[in-house]
Amino acid sequence: MNIETFFDPATFTLTYVVFDPKSRDAVVIDPVLDYDVLSSSTSTTSITRVEEFLNREKLKLHYVLETHAHADHLSGSQYLKSRYGAKVAIGARIVDVQKIFAGVFDLANVPTDGSQFDKLLSDGETIEAGALKVDVLATPGHTPACLSFQVGDAVFTGDALFIEDYGTGRCDFPSGSADALYTSVHERLYALPDATRVFVGHDYQPNGRALRFETTIGASKESNIQLRASTSRADFVKQRTSRDATLSAPRLLFQSVQVNIDAGRLPRAHANGKRYLTIPLDMKKTTKDDGTAV
């Protein structure tokens, strides 16, 4: 098994191409569609790099695997599906996330049964992508639908577990849970062999250090600044909850979630041929037309 890594510095997102060098079978994990917030325009620089690699290596792409419905970047899954016929797969509990955010964004035309995805994945399931076998681990907490994917001696943890000097994913999104994340990391991921390689979903390069995308279960258990093997559930939940209360919303939260719960499809065009994203105003309060609180 080989792993090729792509980093999007605008969103600190890591995309992985995992492939078998003999059969050339491949999966892509968490691809990025670029979005410029000032011009409200999409572009394909990041996903084109992935496409060029797939073509250069003559890989057969079977699946695009989403660790969760991302809140910080638009998914490039539909770009890859349209070019390679790959299936787009995500955790079965995406339906819980869809129901929450379809209401937030008033998305009456977005199904909330997961049907826009080609495959809904359950804990313990094994995906067969040609010669590749991908084991599915439910690791909720950041969102209820979060998954990690284990391929051989490597596990791709999405936003559950980061490099040890950054910690874990935040848990303050709707239906997020620090208690659930503790179970996911401490009792599930940390139960894997210490030598298991960990490939993270983001690297925020704390203190300006160079990019890192790989660590190990053993290093995480010993040194993760938020959740070590010795960390108690109560201490983690208190620390994670306190930190989350200080965090700003992700810069692309509104744009990303409404696209990603719909399997990475951009909003349907209106009668004028233009697509529109819905941006809620004053989500935490009700306001009058003049902007004052009701």
Residue 108 is predicted with a pLDDT of: 86
CA nearest neighbour of 224 among 193, 200, 247: 200
CA atoms within 13 A on the CB side of 144: 13
**129-139 average pLDDT score:** 97
DSSP E strand stretches across the chain = 2-8, 13-19, 25-29, 32-36, 41-43, 60-65, 74-75, 87-91, 119-121, 126-129, 132-138, 147-151, 154-156, 197-199, 214-216
Residue 293 is predicted with a pLDDT of: 86
The answer to whether residue 153 sits within a structural domain is yes
Tokens 């790099």 — which residue? 49
The answer to whether residue 243 sits within a structural domain is yes
Residue 109 is predicted with a pLDDT of: 87
pLDDT digits (tens, 9 = 90+) for 69-86: 999 999 999 999 999 999
Domain tally for the chain?
1
Residue 283 has pLDDT above 90, yes or no: no
Q: How far is CA 165 from the centre of its chain?
A: 20
CATH number at residue 203: 3.60.15.10
Return the minimum-mean-pLDDT range out of 155-159, 209-213, 250-254, 256-260: 250-254
Residue 17's domain spans which residues?
Answer: 2-260
Residue 285 is predicted with a pLDDT of: 85
The answer to whether residue 272 sits within a structural domain is no
Residue 288 has pLDDT above 90, yes or no: no
The answer to whether residue 221 sits within a structural domain is yes
The answer to whether residue 274 sits within a structural domain is no
pLDDT digits (tens, 9 = 90+) for 146-197: 999 999 999 999 999 999 999 999 999 989 999 999 999 999 999 999 999 9
Residue 290 has pLDDT above 90, yes or no: no
The answer to whether residue 184 sits within a structural domain is yes
pLDDT digits (tens, 9 = 90+) for 1-57: 999 999 999 999 999 999 999 999 999 999 999 999 999 999 999 999 999 999 999
* DSSP line for 108-151: TTS-SSSTTSSEEE-TT-EEEETTEEEEEEE--SSSTT-EEEEE
pLDDT, mean over the chain: 96
The answer to whether residue 200 sits within a structural domain is yes
The answer to whether residue 222 sits within a structural domain is yes
CB 85, CB 78: distance < 8 Å: no
